[in-house]
Amino acid sequence: MAVLGIEGTAWAASAAVFTRETNAVSIETDAYQPDSGGIHPREAAEHMGDAIPRVVETALDRADEPIEAVAFSRGPGLGPCLRIVGTAARALAQTLDVPLVGVNHMVAHLEIGRQRSGFESPVCLNASGANAHVLGYRNGRYRVLGETMDTGVGNAIDKFTRHVGWTHPGGPKVEAAASDGEYVELPYVVKGMDFSFSGIMSAAKDAYDDGTPVEDVCFSLQENVFAMLTEVAERALSLTGRDELVLGGGVGQNARLREMLEEMCEQRGADFFAPEPRFLRDNAGMIAVLGAEMLAAGDTLAVEESGVNPNFRPDQVDVTWRDDAESAVPRIDEEDEVRGAEATVEIGEDRVVKRRLPKSYRHPELDERLRRERTVLEARLTSDARRAGVPTPVVYDVDRREAVLEFERVGDADLRETLTPSRVRDAGRHLAAMHGAGLVHGDPTTRNVRVGAERTFFIDFGLGYYTDDVEDYAMDLHVFGQSLAGTADDAAALQTAFEDAYRDAGDESVLDRLREVEGRGRYQ
């Protein structure tokens, strides 16, 4: 028996047949190509309406087995395109008298990699045109560990290439031009496990307008943007204690990104998997494969419940086809040495020594700059937060050149190991005190809070900075909330306790801004 999948979230009109017995996938795709600029929603919908019948007919002609279900991309995506695909899927399911399955496009991107890799419970990095995020499975859902704060990675690159005058899609053209480029400094923005591309794209446009050779700008764009994605993926591995990483999304076709991720995983002793290119770009094969899993779990739709959702987030999906036992449960490090996302920490009886080791996946100039800047900032912010009344370790020594810090040893365990309402309330009060003093921690995850018998300490201020911007304070709260979702069984109750404590000790407007941050509909 086989499942027919139909994909049509934006540019790719695609149909595929997945035969479960042989694990074979046959894909037929007709991609929309704009004459100029990026994707035009009306033109994309017109293309979808014209192409979907053709690709479905071709896919069905190639099917060797009877169709037992029709699966379709329900969202996220462009509404006009999704509605055309949804209508076609409903009509086919009724004509064939088979069940209808509504698939989240982004979950399909990561599931095709998970299933093809054979990994147990990997961290998943999705890097596509309209999206960029990191997810991990826990307690029945894919939890968002990190995401873009403005635009998808592919769309960000396309904005630069449109500025240069290149046609869509821009990613392959940047990759080709970068092969002849040299490194120039551009912004690098990582906020915990979140990232932002707007600043680097503006800087890239300015550099090009100021006469920097386009191949140098393209080379540096790749080095910085893909290093940001790789760093965030490593932070997610560190937070969850996992040692498996899967890549999904069309930008994953870029050889330099895959090279960086593979090198990072090799350094960590983790396993990395990227599906073959036909499964990375938007395709109906991944829709059919996940549709088969959902069908086996009884996760089907009645016609009247099958409306599309342009803002369908992956963390809204009930993952019925996986067991809760597959949840990513943190693996705890040995106490004499801890391996974090960007440093190793040697733990002595009273002191710890933190070494920011070189990251070979990053360009040497970028790596040296980040290691030096973060070491200096960490020492300064740790001390300033302490002066603001936040329990932090005493800084004993700083070696800026070697990127080494020596601290007082604090706490007995990470917060992720002892998540209780009282402890997260401590975290809320301490973040409010930092923000009141004009400090942002930058990476306040449950792994960067230490708990002792009586006190709760903040450590690892390497991504911190000084600011009076409410948005930056809200981002601190957002990062903490994401880490709760990825490491706690009762994340919602703990988040409430955390926010209540922050509200009592801090500025209500920061929580108002947090609601804005959470409601911006990213992934679109």
Alpha carbon 34 to chain centroid, angstroms: 28
3-class SS letters over 370-395: HHHHHHHHHHHHHHHHHHCCCCCCCE
3-class SS letters over 195-242: ECCHHHHHHHHHHHHCCCCHHHHHHHHHHHHHHHHHHHHHHHHHHHCC
Concerning whether 443 is annotated as a catalytic residue, the answer is: yes
Name residues whose C-beta falls within 8 Å of residue 490's C-beta, 6 or more positions apart in sequence. Answer: none
Structural contact between residues 26 and 10, judged by C-beta atoms closer than 8 angstroms: no
Rg from Cα positions in the chain: 24
Read off the tokens for 78: 């462009």
Torsion of CA 336, 340, 342, 346, to 10 degrees: -10
DSSP state of 131: -
Q: What does the alpha-carbon distance between residue 261 and residue 407 come to, in Å, rounded to a whole number?
A: 31
Which of 299, 414, 426, 443 is the catalytic position?
443
Cα-flanking dihedrals φ and ψ of residue 180, to 5°? -110, 15
Angle at 136 between CA 172 and CA 480, to 5 degrees: 105
Cα torsion angle, 464, 468, 469, 471, sign = positive
Q: What does the alpha-carbon distance between residue 265 and residue 245 come to, in Å, rounded to a whole number?
A: 8
Read off the tokens for 126: 């999705």
DSSP state of 192: T
Catalytic residues: 443
